Structure formats: C-alpha cells, structure tokens
C-alpha cells in the first residue's frame, strides 16, 4: 500500500493511520473478469495491489479499443469517483489475476472522516494522479492521429524513451495490446517493427525495446 502514489509525502505513521481511517477492503479478480462496467456508478477508488487491469472501450460489434494498462500501485476509478455524476465512461477488466484494495471516495472528498492534514495530502496526490492520467489520454489521442503505422510507433516509443529516461526499456503492453492501443492491425505492427529493426532503428524482444536511432 505504501508504494502507491496516493500516499506520497506521508510518513509511515500517517500511512498506517490513513489505512485505518479509509477502512477499505481487498477484492480478487480472475483474468478477464469485469472490474468496472461502462455506465456503472463508481463511488470507490481502488489501488491495484497485484496483477494488471485494462481500461477499454468496446464498440457495438465487440471490438476492443484499449486505452490504458494499469499495473500495481495504480489507482482504479479515481477520475470517475471524483466527478459529480460518478458514471464510468469505459470498462475496466482484469488482464491477469488481480487484487484491488477499494475504499470510499467520500472518505477523502468529504471533511470529517480523516485527519485534515492527511486528507489534504491525499487530495493533492489524487489530483496529481488524475492530471497525469489526462496527459496519458492526450498522448493516446496524439499517437492515433498519425496516419502511418510507423509514425504511430515512432511517437509511442519516443515518448516511452523520454518518460523512462533511457534508450532501453520495457513497455506494459504485449504485441496484441500495443496494436490495439495504437489502433493498427497486429500483423501490420509486427511487420513494421521488424522493418525498423532491419533498418537499425530499434531492437526489441517481446515487450523490451532498445532505441538505436529514431
């Protein structure tokens, strides 16, 4: 729990107190199980303790549009539970066996539940997290705005290189998920990645990438 960004800046004692006052509970999800359904009312915030979850939109014909992959210590549903309508605009499902700690958003949003100093720190951290999520969504929109598959790949890998501060890194997506995220066919994506490797632009193995020159 203390590894979650929501507790950033809190002392060990404050974290323990916050956990007691939030009075949440853990729930386990099997691979593929729905966590949040689109249009559902979400009044709780979750912290992923183990596993992975996918945020996605589904079209009328069942096609999945992957928006983001959540990993341990990410928040689930925070940007929904903190709105007035609290209505989910997307679906969240477990990409692997996943454990999530849930607590009521009102414990933080409303005064009187927890210590004001702790509450202010938690609110600040949630604000930062939601702002970062909005930036990720912006980058997703920008990535799919490029017409060619290569442009989308270069944009995504360059962004990961900048965010991680190194030319060698792992991404959270497998090949099918990356294709879904970039809005391209998986075989087309694989073909283009191999072309870029032959041209000496990148090296890769599964979800590991090394940038040579882009």
- Please tell me the predicted confidence (pLDDT) of residue 112: 85
For residues 41 and 77, is the Cβ–Cβ distance under 8 A?
no
Residue 106 lies inside a defined structural domain of this protein: yes
- Answer yes or no: is pLDDT of 111 > 90: no
pLDDT band at 214 (very low <50, low <70, confident <90, very high): confident
Same domain for 177 and 120 = no
Mean pLDDT of the chain: 94
Residue 118 lies inside a defined structural domain of this protein: yes
For residues 148 and 195, is the Cβ–Cβ distance under 8 A?
no
DSSP 139: H
pLDDT band at 188 (very low <50, low <70, confident <90, very high): very high
Same domain for 123 and 26 = yes
Q: Last residue of a domain, which of 109, 134, 159?
A: 134
Same domain for 38 and 126 = yes
Q: Last residue of a domain, which of 80, 111, 134?
A: 134
- Please tell me the predicted confidence (pLDDT) of residue 62: 82
For residues 43 and 105, is the Cβ–Cβ distance under 8 A?
yes
Same domain for 161 and 126 = no
Same domain for 51 and 97 = yes
- Please tell me the predicted confidence (pLDDT) of residue 174: 94
Report the CATH number at residue 158. Answer: 1.10.10.10
Residue 141 lies inside a defined structural domain of this protein: no
- Answer yes or no: is pLDDT of 113 > 90: no
Residue 206: domain span: 146-211
Instruction: For residue range 71-97, list pLDDT tens digits in order.
Output: 999 999 999 999 999 999 999 999 999
Report the CATH number at residue 103. Answer: 2.60.120.10
Q: Last residue of a domain, which of 114, 134, 154?
A: 134
CA atoms in the 13 A half-sphere facing the CB of 5: 16
- Please tell me the predicted confidence (pLDDT) of residue 191: 97
- Answer yes or no: is pLDDT of 1 > 80: no
For residues 68 and 55, is the Cβ–Cβ distance under 8 A?
yes
């Amino acid at each position: 729990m203390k590894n979650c960004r929501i507790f950033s800046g809190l002392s060990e004692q404050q974290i323990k107190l916050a956990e007691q006052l939030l009075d949440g509970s853990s729930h386990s999800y099997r691979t593929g199980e729905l966590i949040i359904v689109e249009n559902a009312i979400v009044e709780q915030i979750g912290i992923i303790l183990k596993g992975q979850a996918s945020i996605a939109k589904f079209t009328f014909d069942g096609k999945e549009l992957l928006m983001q992959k959540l990993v341990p210590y990410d928040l689930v549903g925070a940007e929904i539970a903190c709105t007035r309508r609290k209505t989910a605009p997307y679906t969240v499902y477990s990409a692997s066996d996943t454990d999530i700690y849930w607590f009521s958003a009102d414990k933080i949003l409303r005064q009187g539940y927890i210590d004001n100093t702790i509450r202010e720190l938690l609110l600040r951290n949630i604000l930062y997290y939601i702002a970062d999520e909005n930036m990720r969504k912006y980058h997703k929109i920008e990535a799919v705005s490029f017409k060619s598959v290569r442009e989308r790949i270069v944009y995504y890998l360059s962004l990961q290189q900048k965010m991680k501060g190194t030319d060698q890194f792992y991404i959270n997506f497998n090949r099918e998920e990356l294709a879904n995220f970039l809005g391209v066919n998986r075989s087309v994506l694989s073909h283009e990645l191999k072309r870029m490797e032959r041209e000496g632009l990148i090296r890769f193995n599964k979800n590991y990438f090394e940038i040579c020159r882009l």
